[in-house]
Amino acid sequence: MTKILEVKNLNIGFNLSDSFRQAIYDVNFSLEKGEMLAIVGESGCGKSLSAMSILQLLPETAEIKSGEIFFNGENLLNLTQKQMQKIRGKKIALIPQDPMTSLNPLYTIGNQLLEVIELHQGLKGQEAFDVAVKALEKVKIPDAKEKMKSYPHEFSGGMKQRVIIAMALACNAELIIADEPTTALDVTVQAQIMDILKDIKERFNISIILITHDLGVVAENADKIAVMYSGHVVEFADKNEILNNPLHPYTKALLNVILDINSKDVKTIEGQPPSIMDNISGCSFHPRCKDCMNICIKEKPNNVIRNKTIVACHLYN
């Protein structure tokens, strides 16, 4: 298998009015062609920043301090903005939480699809129209030809997300980054969108990075999982390893939350994740960790390899 994406030792922070605050610490993850990698963790742990750094769509105050992001072997961080524009939307597509950040309410679905097809594939007229309709069919939009004439407001949230996925397919995107694509949808529609993502991954060998705070959403769909906490990837492994043999106490706590939801006894992990303004010594999870030892308060854990899992926890040092 070939690695389509490899993020290496990525460090990102914010230049705030009075100080520089680090938000992403030595983040590493990778995925092969045709794989789905899920990035999971509670709100504020750095999922979106890590993913958006791939597209170099970061807030203005954010700064990538160091690291490498290899896409098909090329370090994206060495590209100019102009070179990056050719990759964004064409080779790497983004599916945001709210589809209306990508759709224009004033234009028909068809017009918007045709526009990206012309921009990224240089196709026009009937040829472009056929590509657009086919893309809508690939995401199982019924009466695709007719739907080309619809406006976004005529579509439900789930249908709008399908259109965004169709845009990525129409441009032959190789990597799709989906940032909480189903959070705003109800549970049945969530499942349909996940099925579509899984289906296009398998049929067209597309690679997907799925960002979610819900480990339950990824349980059936992902190939690999990166668990993030407070700007660190604390555990990275194949899905089955993470689900069946979790190592990091935070991963175990996240899994307990899913189990408890299944038994209707809704529970969350006790305590709050830290903000980038907090200065926590040692392991940033130690204040919430059930297995906290003396060393955890003093020293940051290094990444260690256990079986095939990479884990950052003193329990395994």
The residues binding ligand ATP (CB under 6 A) are 14, 23, 41, 43-49, 59, 61, 213, 275-276
Nearer to Mg ion by Cβ, of 48 and 182: the residue is 48
The tokens describing 283, both together, are 């392991």
Q: What's the gap between Cα 21 and its chain centre?
A: 23
Q: Which is nearer to Mg ion, 155 or 229 (CB)?
A: 229
Asked whether position 230 contacts Mg ion by CB under 5 A, the answer is no
Residue pair 233/200 in contact by the 8 Å Cβ criterion = no
Q: Check: CB of residue 291 under 8 Å from CB of residue 249.
A: yes
48 binds Mg ion (CB under 5 A): yes
- Which residue's CB is nearer to ligand ATP, number 269 or number 295? 269
Q: Output the smallest distance, CB 61 to ligand ATP, in A.
A: 5
- The one of ligand ATP, Mg ion, none whose footprint includes residue 23, by CB under 5 to 8 A per kind, is ligand ATP
H or E element: which one contains 153?
Answer: none
Nearest residue to ligand ATP by CB is 48
Contact (CB, 8 A) for 122 and 60 = no
Cα separation, 272 vs 220, in Å, equals 27
Least distance in Å: CB of 47 to Mg ion?
5
Cβ–Cβ under 8 Å, residues 65 and 13:
yes
Question: Which option in Mg ion, ligand ATP, none does residue 213 bind, with CB closer than 5 to 8 A by kind?
Answer: ligand ATP
Q: Which is nearer to ligand ATP, 61 or 156 (CB)?
A: 61
Q: How far is the CB of 43 from ligand ATP (least distance, A)?
A: 3
Instruction: Please state whether beta strands 62-71 and 3-15 pair in parallel, antiparallel, or not at all (unpaired).
Output: antiparallel
CA 248, 68, 46, 163 torsion-angle sign: negative
Token pair for residue 250?
A: 């935070």
Angle between helices 187-204 and 157-170 (to 10 degrees): 10
Q: Are strands 20-32 and 74-75 parallel, antiparallel or unpaired?
A: unpaired
CB of 190 to ligand ATP, least distance (A): 16
In the bound state with Mg ion, the residue whose beta carbon lies nearer, of 26 and 42, is 42
Query: To the nearest whole angstrom, how small is the minimum distance from the Cβ of residue 51 to ligand ATP?
Result: 8
212 forms part of the interface with Mg ion (CB under 5 A): no
Closer residue to ligand ATP, CB minimum distance, 43 or 244: 43
Instruction: Count CB neighbours of 310 within 10 A.
Output: 17
**Applying CB under 5 A, what is the total number of residues that bind Mg ion?**
1
The distance of closest approach from Cβ of residue 215 to ligand ATP in the complex, given in angstroms and rounded to an integer, is 13
Residues that bind Mg ion (CB under 5 A): 48
